[in-house]
Amino acid sequence: MQQKENLQQRKVNSLAELGEKIFLDRYAIKDAKKETLAVGDTVVVCVNLKTGQREIGTVERIDREEKQVAVKLRDGSIETRAIEHIDKPLETVPEQMFERIAQHIASVEATPELQAEWQGRFRELMDDWKYVPAGRIFTGAGTGQHLTYYNCYVIPSPKDSRGGIFETLGQMAEIMSRGGGVGINVSTLRPRYAYVKGVNGRSSGAVSWASLYSFVTGLIEQGGSRRGALMLILNVWHPDVIDFINSKKEAGKITNANISVGITDDFMQAVKEDKSWDLVFPDTSDPLYKEAWDGNINRWKEIGGKVIKHKTVRAQDIWDNIITSAWGSAEPGMYFIDRANYYSNSYYYADLPCTNPCGEQPLPAWGVCNLGHINLAKHVDDNSPAAGKDVDWNKLKRTVQDAVRFQDNVIDSTPYFFDENYQQQMSERRVGMGTIGLAEMLIKLELRYGSESAVEFIDKLYRFISITAYETSVDLAREKGAFSKFDAEKFLQSGFMQRMPEYIRHLVRSYGIRNVTILTQAPTGTVGTMVGTSTGIEPFFSWTYFRKSRLGVHQEHIQLAQDWLAAHPGSELPEHFVTAMELAPEEHVKVQAAVQRWTDSAISKTVNAPEDYTVEQTKKLYEMMYDLGCKGGTIYRDGSRDEQILAIDHKKLGKDASDQVENGKRSDASVGVPSAQTIPQPAPEPTPAPMPTPEPTPAPMPAPAPHPQTPAAPQMTRQPSPTAQAVGGLAQVSPRKRPDVMQGSTYKVATAYGNLYVTVNEDEYGPFEVFSQLGKAGGFFGAQTEAICRMISLSLRSGISLQNVIDQLKGIRGPDPVFHNGERILSLPDAVANVLENHLKRGQQTLQLEIPQPVETPKLVQEPIFQAVTQEMNTGKLEFVKSKTSVADLGHAPVCMMCGNMLRMAEGCQKCESCGWSKC
């Protein structure tokens, strides 16, 4: 009987292929030393050392002496890898992970009896993926490792001094290195050109220091799989707000952070009434400044602090600039900071100056994200009649009750590496319980996402979740005590508590409440993909799309749609099967607002808009967000970048992939509940590139290095004159012909997209041609570097000096700078220039961190800004908005850093449908 129950559990907890890979690779405990590795074991093997791509397989044989392991992959192929590139999961089925987590989270209960009871209930809570804790909890709970279970943090705004700025930098780096995302409001920093008494100079401004935080974020890798995540916020009254809004458009300013503008209620009122707006900052000579200034301009005024008006502009001009930038690149986002603080239950003891990087958690300084997600798709009553499908309300109530206790226990069981985080969390006990699978639930209930009936249902659903959660937190307060900063009358005056039913307010007044906040809606890109449902409160992106992997091109299907089509042969999907791009943007906003009404924290969601959506429509949409009560938002307009971020059409994957599909060389796979469908067939291995990897050998007869005692060899100046002929009155240059045999050297340089190998060949006159290899042949970035090197070679053969070539390429900035041998590699062109420069001047390496400094004279007169843009917007003649924005212009590369496939935007975050990687 027990064996039958175990098999049944495994069936309900089974995962599709991609979900299983995510579980085994990211969340299962590993045998780090591989001491138990044996033939027949399930393992995760790195099949591509450059990209880090991993696949699941079974050990076929082990050579302990050579430290090699042969693994049979799921497609039947054999991969032999060094043992260091093999991970052996000690947990191979989700039930083992559930048991580990349940035991650990229940261990903080007061008595052995309670521990045993709640271990069983927490285990049942996760069964069938009814409740999905945050990935950090999966990874750390019960492992014995000193890993935090919190995803993200907000740290104090930096003090306006060099010491304060770098203190914040150290705190940020420490948190990121341990896997956490960080939010910082930089409004405490004095504006550009402000006088700095200590150095008798002028400040470079808040944006320049924000760029430093962004730069360091790009250097930090978290566990080798995720770069640091950062949110930077500047409030709309700050004199540098215009520079901040435009910072994403300027190369090298802020490339590794999400940015949002802190929008106040009085600013929105000024926008609606077309009034002027003062850009202000405290007088830094005020005696109160050093000790009392904390970034809250209203509190500064209340204590009598002096304020300097730096400029007066039209509020509409700032608003239009925000909208135009968001229309083009989805940034900056908006954080309605006054609204977030008004509805905050902690308003009376802590401001919420910033959000976490994804925006769903407005937090106080040292606040944390304590996240978990109810899988709504698992709470539809399967026994209800077809004509009256409904939620299993009793099941949902029990899930909410147990989940609140689960997340409250997380607070007491997680390690803390900053005492400030410990003190803050223990004093308020924040919980962020959200949902996944809303879109799937709506489809099962035959409600069209975004429709009036769906919005009404969503209001009812989230009201039920909210009330149940607050009832449970009151019960926990009766059992374990209220959070220490609880003040009944002040708590009940928060905007959110005034919305609650009177009987909930009575319970809170009578017994207290355990947690200051309980509800949120986080991005769930990785865990949502793992369990095979719609992520967060987002609709499904598409029912079918193409995914390129090492096995070729696969057509992915959402299982829910496939099951309906199988049950209704010859029919089209009904109206309630709706995808993100089929919805009107306003429908996205209505859903977000309905959920926000019953969420005490905030929401991370993407509002998808069609390519032809105008700037004016975007403006109205953001105003709609504000008017309907949202605390922030992100709009992503399809086609605003040259690269599409999901390949619904296989032709957008590139010519090779398109040809493969059209020739029938693809396989089908499903996302969601696994089913026995077509088994993917391995695609033919691509022809190896001529450059050997991963450690290419130098080209034959490498050129000798300069003598150590002499300066770096100057470039050869004695070159043959290229052949020239007159064509149409212009001199046409014919490049020199290539000899059959050449000497050269091959260099290896790290880039954000893998190791780049560059070969420089020379003839008797000096550098003649340049070749490069990056990734597999036919890749996007490989094609980019090949094109660069072809043009370099043509230039060299046409008589242009190598130094001139270097000067053109050096310093070009891209979205993901890295360090290599002490040098900052800004982009692929910069990497090529780095190699060429070192080829000429070997041994000369420098490291510079440039903080932008003011180079122009400030204008001391008041004048309207963006006048030309505003006039053109008002007359409908804003022509430039009709063109697509380049990826390079946006400083943003929509490819997965793990597998190289395209990312898509969802829940205000980027996620990869291929490997499950998520930026958030």
pLDDT band at 915 (very low <50, low <70, confident <90, very high): low
Using an 8 Å Cβ cutoff, are 235 and 264 in contact?
yes
Q: How would you classify the pairing of strands 754-763 and 743-751?
A: antiparallel
> Quick check: 376 pLDDT over 90?
yes
Using an 8 Å Cβ cutoff, are 410 and 475 in contact?
no
Using an 8 Å Cβ cutoff, are 283 and 255 in contact?
no
Q: What is the pLDDT of residue 827?
A: 85
From the candidates 46, 152, 354, 358, give the one annotated as an active-site residue.
358
Q: What is the pLDDT of residue 536?
A: 94
Task: Please name which of 362, 232, 229, 434 lies closest in space to residue 917, comparing C-alpha atoms.
Answer: 229
Q: Which residues contact 572 (CB under 8 A, 6 or more apart)?
A: none
pLDDT band at 188 (very low <50, low <70, confident <90, very high): very high
CA distance 153 to 272: 34
Structure tokens at 338: 């006054």
> Quick check: 326 pLDDT over 60?
yes
Q: Which residues contact 260 (CB under 8 A, 6 or more apart)?
A: 231, 232, 233, 332, 333, 334, 335, 355, 359, 632
> Quick check: 506 pLDDT over 70?
yes
pLDDT tens digit string along 437-462?
Answer: 999 999 999 999 999 999 999 999 99
pLDDT tens digit string along 328-372?
Answer: 888 999 999 999 999 999 999 999 999 999 999 999 999 999 999
CA distance 443 to 563: 12
pLDDT band at 556 (very low <50, low <70, confident <90, very high): low
> Quick check: 899 pLDDT over 80?
no
Q: What is the pLDDT of residue 813?
A: 76
Q: What is the 3-state secondary structure (H, E, C) of 751-782?
A: ECCEEEEEEEEEECCEEEEEEEECCCCCCHHH
Task: Please name which of 746, 745, 796 lies closest in space to residue 769, comparing C-alpha atoms.
Answer: 796
Least confident segment among 138-152, 246-260, 511-525: 246-260
pLDDT band at 202 (very low <50, low <70, confident <90, very high): confident
Structure tokens at 273: 């009434």
Structure tokens at 88: 């052996």
| Residues 673, 397, 117, 436, Cα dihedral to 10° | 40
3-state SS class at 464? helix
Task: Please name which of 291, 295, 433, 414 lies closest in space to residue 365, comparing C-alpha atoms.
Answer: 295
Higher pLDDT, 542 or 903: 542
Residue 200 CA: distances (Å) to CA of 163, 195, 196 = 17, 7, 6
Task: Please name which of 638, 641, 635, 639 lies closest in space to residue 888, comparing C-alpha atoms.
Answer: 641
> Quick check: 600 pLDDT over 90?
yes
CA distance 211 to 217: 10
Q: What is the pLDDT of residue 208?
A: 93
pLDDT tens digit string along 682-725?
Answer: 333 333 333 333 333 333 333 334 333 333 433 333 344 455 44
Q: What is the pLDDT of residue 554?
A: 45
Higher pLDDT, 689 or 202: 202
Handedness of CA 681, 48, 754, 208 (dihedral sign): positive
Least confident segment among 171-180, 435-444, 580-589, 877-886: 877-886
CA distance 147 to 143: 9
> Quick check: 249 pLDDT over 80?
no
Residue 306 CA: distances (Å) to CA of 236, 284, 300, 302, 502 = 19, 9, 8, 10, 43
Q: Which residues contact 570 (CB under 8 A, 6 or more apart)?
A: none
Structure tokens at 345: 């239950």
Q: What is the pLDDT of residue 2?
A: 55
Using an 8 Å Cβ cutoff, are 895 and 652 in contact?
no
> Quick check: 20 pLDDT over 50?
yes
pLDDT band at 545 (very low <50, low <70, confident <90, very high): low
> Quick check: 802 pLDDT over 70?
yes
Q: What is the pLDDT of residue 681?
A: 33
* Helix, strand, coil percentages for the chain (3-state, nearest 5): 40, 20, 40
360 is catalytic: yes
CA distance 618 to 609: 9
> Quick check: 245 pLDDT over 70?
yes
Element (H, E) at 82: strand 78-82
Q: What does the radius of gyration of the chain's CA atoms come to, in whole angstroms?
A: 29
> Quick check: 259 pLDDT over 80?
yes
Using an 8 Å Cβ cutoff, are 532 and 484 in contact?
no
Q: What is the pLDDT of residue 660?
A: 43
Using an 8 Å Cβ cutoff, are 85 and 49 in contact?
yes
Q: Which residues contact 632 (CB under 8 A, 6 or more apart)?
A: 260, 333, 334, 335, 336, 340, 355, 359, 602, 603, 625
From the candidates 356, 370, 755, 838, give the one annotated as an active-site residue.
356
User: Rounded mean pLDDT of 798-812?
Assistant: 84
CA distance 439 to 434: 14
Residue 528 CA: distances (Å) to CA of 15, 272, 322, 535, 540 = 12, 39, 31, 5, 11
CA distance 636 to 328: 9
Using an 8 Å Cβ cutoff, are 884 and 890 in contact?
no
User: Rounded mean pLDDT of 378-402?
Assistant: 88
Q: What is the pLDDT of residue 914?
A: 65
User: Rounded mean pLDDT of 486-513?
Assistant: 98
From the candidates 331, 360, 907, 913, give the one annotated as an active-site residue.
360
356 is catalytic: yes
Task: Please name which of 406, 404, 399, 405 lies closest in space to residue 379, comparing C-alpha atoms.
Answer: 399
| DSSP strands (E only) in 656-729 | 666-671, 723-727
One DSSP character per residue, 228-257 reads --EEEEEETTSTTHHHHHTGGGSTTSS-SS
909 is catalytic: no
Q: What is the pLDDT of residue 513?
A: 99
Q: Which residues does residue 436 pair with via DSSP β-bridges, in sequence order?
A: 375
Question: In percent, how much of the chain has pLDDT > 90?
Answer: 56
Fold of 152-346: Anaerobic Ribonucleotide-triphosphate Reductase Large Chain (3.20.70)
User: Rounded mean pLDDT of 223-250?
Assistant: 86
Q: How would you classify the pairing of strands 195-196 and 723-727?
A: unpaired
pLDDT tens digit string along 58-72?
Answer: 999 999 988 999 999
pLDDT tens digit string along 75-101?
Answer: 899 999 999 999 999 999 999 999 999
Check whether domain 30-90 has CATH 3.40.109.10, yes or no: no
Q: What is the pLDDT of residue 674?
A: 37
Structure tokens at 625: 């967000």
Q: Where are the domains of the chain?
A: 30-90, 152-346, 371-525, 540-683+904-912, 723-840
Q: What is the pLDDT of residue 538?
A: 94
> What does the buried/exposed string (b/e) look like for 250-276 if buried means 16 or more CB atoms within 10 Å of the residue's CB?
ebbbbbbbbbbbbbbeebbebbeeeee
Q: What is the pLDDT of residue 897?
A: 59
pLDDT tens digit string along 561-575?
Answer: 999 999 999 999 999
User: Rounded mean pLDDT of 580-600?
Assistant: 96
End-to-end CA separation in angstroms for the chain: 43
pLDDT band at 248 (very low <50, low <70, confident <90, very high): confident
Q: How would you classify the pairing of strands 606-609 and 632-637?
A: parallel
User: Rounded mean pLDDT of 31-49?
Assistant: 92
Q: Is the peptide bond before 385 cis (omega within 30 degrees of 0)?
A: no
- Write down the mean pLDDT value for the chain: 82
pLDDT tens digit string along 638-686?
Answer: 765 434 334 455 544 444 444 444 444 333 444 443 333 332 333 333 3
Conformational region of residue 683, where left means phi above 0, alpha means psi within -120 to 50, and beta covers everything else: beta
Residues in the chain: 920
Q: What is the pLDDT of residue 265?
A: 98
Higher pLDDT, 374 or 653: 374
> Quick check: 3 pLDDT over 70?
no
